[in-house]
Amino acid sequence: MFAPLEPSGGGPLPDRGRRRNAVNALFCTAGVAGVLLGGWALYDAHRSGQHRAESRTAIRQACADLADPDAVLRLDGGRDRVSADEDAYGHRLDPSDLPDLCELRSGRAGERDRPHYLTLKVHSLPQPGLHVLDPDDEPVAPWTPGRRTGDVTGRIAAPLPAPLGDGRAGSHTARSVTVEAACREDIAGVTSFRATATARYGEPTAGDRRALAAIARTAAVRAAQRKGCETTPPELPADLPAPGRDLGPADRATGGCAWYAAHLHGRRDRERLPDRALGTPPAERAAQESCVLVLDTDTRRGIRAGLLAEGVRAGGPSDLLTNPWWLQTHAYFGDDADGTKVKPFTRGPHDIAAGQAGREDRVLYASADCGGRPAVFGMTTAYRYDRVLGPLLDELFTAYTTATAERHGCTGLVLPAPQ
């Protein structure tokens, strides 16, 4: 149909051999594939850019423009698609009605089974009910069906918040960071703003915790600025290691449990007292600190016969798994103390006024003044363990509050009347 092309000198084009022709064909095919792949890469990059732009808008709207969208999208190795939670509660943050939160999920709005991604919660302080001394909040997880049997007293259920630096900036756990933005002057009774960024995916890395800290700091500062609060939070530490959950020997305890190690020193009648401990790291300016004390299962098993002989209800063998014996101390300072309530067994939580102390079921609480800042000290107890300890419980609480108040320079310590 078409005559073969000829060179300018006439005659057909030379045949360079099958191998050379195959190579030429391969290069042509590769060139076409390269064009196609390059086009797809450009399209994919464009589409990812669109997804990220949509996600930035969703983050701004859900979190009231308090969170940095790019910082949010960099979490967990990076995301292109993030959308607001759309459940019945409509978790979109309202800065005019604090405390409030926003919840974000991975994936596009409307998709099914979108995994949780990030929660950002913002408070203005002081806030009533910020903390509640409730003995039903168990630090040690009891055994449940389906869980491997064994000693339940070796680890706490959730890590205790560790301070950021000296504690002024806030605190962190393995998956959340809380940052405080204190106002230079009170604004309509508000002294500070607090933001907590919590990762809701897998196991956050140290890099993720640094990113969470930056997200929380930005949110706290922006919330404060919107209310006319001048603030400059302390610099955040570079290293945010995940707090541990394993309890160690009580007589070598440090940090929030150092008082207990000192109390045990030289003491012989220890058999009913906790022999495992884990406390928050020491921090001079922390708004809160805690200590978890637990009686080892084998120790408890060894004293059970003696308790029964005294008529003390020590529980059956199954209680060794389902009802571990523990104590937990709670110290709150400043705005955190002002927002602390105590929860009796038979009615709702009530405030703890300055200069007040008392006992409610399995809760002991005291108050003090720490350089013009209020302080509340509490101790919660496992079911029945308060009866096992008897007068030792008041002795422990006095030792704890006295040592902690002295360490923080507190005066005017008010303790509950002995029982």
131 inside domain: yes
Residues 295 and 387 in one domain: yes
Which residue bears the tokens 């884990």? 278
Range of the domain at 56: 49-114
User: What is the C-alpha end-to-end distance of the chain, expressed in Å?
Assistant: 113
Task: Identify whether 176 is part of a domain.
Answer: no
Lowest mean pLDDT among 31-45, 58-72, 105-119, 302-316: 31-45
Domain count within the chain: 2
Residue among 356, 380, 384 at smallest CA distance from 272 = 384
- If asked whether residues 107 and 136 sit together in one domain, one would say no
Confidence of residue 44 (pLDDT cuts 50, 70, 90): very low
Tell me: do 374 and 327 sit in the same domain: yes
Please report whether residue 342 resides in a domain.
yes
Of all helices (H) and strands (E), which one includes residue 213?
A: helix 206-226
Domain membership of residue 43 (yes or no) is no
Same domain flag for 100 and 134? no
Contact (Cβ atoms closer than 8 angstroms) between residue 258 and residue 192: no
Domain co-membership, 95 together with 134? no
Percent of the chain residues topping a pLDDT of 90: 66
Q: What is the dihedral of CA 227, 231, 234, 235, to 10 degrees?
A: 80
Residue 222, in any domain of the structure: no
- Confidence band (pLDDT; 50, 70, 90) for 142? confident
Q: Which two tokens stand for residue 103?
A: 């919840």
- How does pLDDT run across 196-255, given as a tens digit for each residue? 999 999 999 999 999 999 999 999 999 999 999 999 999 999 999 999 999 999 999 999
Q: Give the helix ranges, DSSP H, for 63-143.
A: 69-73
107 pLDDT higher than 90:
no
Q: Residue 362: its pLDDT value, please?
A: 94
* Residue 382 to residue 2: CA distance in whole angstroms: 97
Examine the domain organization and report whether 105 and 137 are in the same domain. no
- The per-residue pLDDT for 23 is 58
Contact 250, 263 (CB under 8 A): no
Those residues whose C-beta lies under 8 Å from the C-beta of residue 307, and which sit 6 or more positions away, are 314, 388
Contacts of 199 (CB under 8 A, 6+ apart): 75, 76, 117, 118, 175, 176, 208, 212
- Nearest one of 375, 359, 190 to 288, comparing CA atoms: 375
Residue with token string 């927002």: 339
Tally DSSP H helices, then E strands, for the chain: 9, 18
C-alpha of 238 from chain center: 18
> How sure is the predictor about 87, in pLDDT bands with cuts at 50, 70 and 90?
low
Q: Is 169 part of a structural domain of the chain? A: no
Residue position matching structure tokens 């099914």: 112
Q: Note whether 136 and 67 are same-domain residues.
A: no
For residues 56 and 146, state if they share a domain. Answer: no
pLDDT class for 88, splitting at 50, 70, 90? very low
Mean pLDDT of 323-350: 92
109 and 150, same domain (yes or no): no
Q: How many CB atoms lie within 10 A of CB 221?
A: 19
Mean pLDDT of the chain: 87
Determine, yes or no, domain membership for 99: yes
CA distance 73 to 362: 44
User: pTM value?
Assistant: 0.85
Structural contact between residues 142 and 152, judged by C-beta atoms closer than 8 angstroms: yes
Q: What is the pLDDT of residue 161?
A: 96
* 318 in the same domain as 359: yes
What pLDDT is recorded for position 200?
94
